[in-house]
Amino acid sequence: MEYVQERVTTLHDLTDPTPAAPTDRATVVVPMTEREYAGLAPDRVLSELERVDPARVVVPLRAPGDRVSPFADWLADYDLTLSVLWCNGPRLEGLLDDHGLDGEAGKGRDVWLGLGQALDGEYVVVHDADTKSYSRADVARLLYPLAEGYDFSKGYYARVENGRLYGRLFRLFFVPLVRALQGRRDAAVLRYLASFRYALAGEFAATTALAERLRTQRSWGLEVGTLGDAFEHAGFAGSAQVDLGTYEHDHRAVSGPTGLSDMSRHVGAALFRAVADHGVDPDYGSLPDRYCEAARSLVRSYELDAGFNGLGYDRGDELEQVETYAAAIEPPGPDRRLPAWADAPISPAAVAEAAEADLEAA
């Protein structure tokens, strides 16, 4: 048990708390895809949310047309004030296209659409639906700092399953990459990013005043991009991170079109955009080597920690992943972030109207 503070305020799980928090003034956004339909993990999440009884639950859903009605019917069985936002319905897609918001669809765009529906409240909580160990206490923990005057709250947790360490993209890519960037310039934004114990966690909470200022990455860079904007609008003084214990998530292979290798390119691009927004200009020529040096040092530390805890550890596999991730270190290319809702060319009400019409026609 430890209670060390990071540069951002860090709340620890010392007594298994469920603190008093304004859950009745919060909208919970839970993005889902067709693979979550009637699954055990989503069922646990929704059942726990029934016990939280938030003001509202918004489910941004990305699914084929023939799956939408059964999915909505399944969700309607839960005792929640819940609305389904079909993110790839034809009317909603057309609305986005008409306003120049077409382009890549992914988790980030789904969350952006969901955030728009939460702006009429006071607080918003965002988390994934694939968490097998989800607890109703998570919502209260994320909201607690906001009720005490903070603007942004980020969850962190341990990823230990099946006798081994997970969280590979965070451990082996994000952390050493940030350290490599810090080695050349110790900018405030880098200190901020390095303060979060699990920067790639999908769980966060924010005041709606901050949420409407977030420029959202369209896909897997969502979490890093959110931190970049949180630094700008909340800063160290307005940000906190909260211990959510040990999480069990779905795991991805390293290779393949939806694997960690592909994800690393999105995460790297989001990171480079976030630091560039605050004056950091990476030397992309030397950065891969500096990243590899930092990552290899961490592999040695992870190996020792795993052995200390009696966990399995494949050093060769981890080093091979480092080499794979190094190929993702490149300039981020065109900025395709979605606009903050405060600046968007469409309104959340227009999105809700289009999505409702799509759902009725499905």
Beta bridge partners of 206: 124, 152
pLDDT tens digits, one per residue of 7-44: 999 999 999 999 999 999 999 999 999 999 999 999 99
Q: Amino acid identity, residue 226?
A: T
Q: How many of the other CB atoms lie within 10 Å of CB of 264?
A: 25
HEC-encoded secondary structure of the chain: CCCCCCCCEEECCCCCCCCCCCHHHEEEECCEEHHHCCCHHHHHHHHHHHHHCCCEEEEEEECCHHHHHHHHHHHHCCCCCEEEEECCCHHHHHHHHHCCCCCCCCHHHHHHHHHHHHCCCCEEEECCCCCCCCCCHHHHHHHHHHHCCCCEEEEEEECEECCEECCHHHHHHHHHHHHHHHCCCCCHHHHHHHHCCCCCCCCEEEEHHHHCCCCECCCCCHHHHHHHHHHHHCCCCCEEEEEEEECCCCCCCCCCCCCHHHHHHHHHHHHHHHHHCCCCCCCCCCHHHHHHHHHHHHHHHHHHHHHHCCCECCHHHHHHHHHHHHCCCCCCCCCCCECCHHHCCCCHHHHHHHHHHHHHHC
Q: Average pLDDT in the 116-144 region?
A: 94
Count CB atoms within 10 A of the CB of residue 233: 19
263 pLDDT band, cuts 50/70/90, is: confident
Close Cβ partners of 300 (under 8 Å, ≥ 6 residues apart):
none
CA distance 200 to 80: 28
CATH code at 25?
3.90.550.10
pLDDT at 251 over 80: no
Report pLDDT for 73.
97
Show Cβ contacts of residue 167 under 8 Å, excluding neighbours closer than 6 positions.
159, 198, 200
Domain count, the chain: 1
The single-letter code of the amino acid at 242 is V
- 345-353: average pLDDT: 97
Q: What is the pLDDT of residues 103-126, one digit of tens each?
A: 888 999 999 999 999 999 999 999
- Rounded CA separation 215/229 (Å): 7
By CB atoms closer than 10 A (0-12, 13-18, 19+), residue 221 is buried
Q: Which two tokens stand for residue 323?
A: 């080499």
Q: Is 2 within the bounds of a domain?
A: no
189, part of any domain:
yes
Is 35 contained in some domain?
yes
- Any domain includes 3: no
Average pLDDT over residues 61-81: 96
Q: Is the pLDDT of residue 274 over 90?
A: yes
Give mean pLDDT, residues 199-215.
97
| Least confident stretch, 14-18, 87-91, 181-185 | 181-185
Classify residue 300: in a domain, yes or no: yes
**What's the mean per-residue pLDDT of the chain?**
94
Which range marks the domain in which residue 196 is found? 9-333+341-361
The CA–CA distances, whole Å, from 170 to 22, 151, 193, 303 equal: 31, 24, 12, 16
**4 inside domain:** no
Q: What b-and-e string marks burial along 178-187, b requiring 16 or more CB atoms within 10 Å of the CB?
A: bbbbbeeeee
Question: Within 13 Å, how many C-alpha atoms sit on residue 208's CB side?
Answer: 16
Q: Report if residue 1 sits inside a domain.
A: no
Q: What is the pTM of this model?
A: 0.94
Q: Is residue 171 part of a domain?
A: yes
Q: What is the pLDDT of residue 132?
A: 84
pLDDT in tens, 73-85: 999 999 999 999 9
Q: Which residues does 353 contact at the CB level (< 8 Å), separation at least 6? A: none
Question: Across residues 186-191, what is the average pLDDT?
Answer: 94
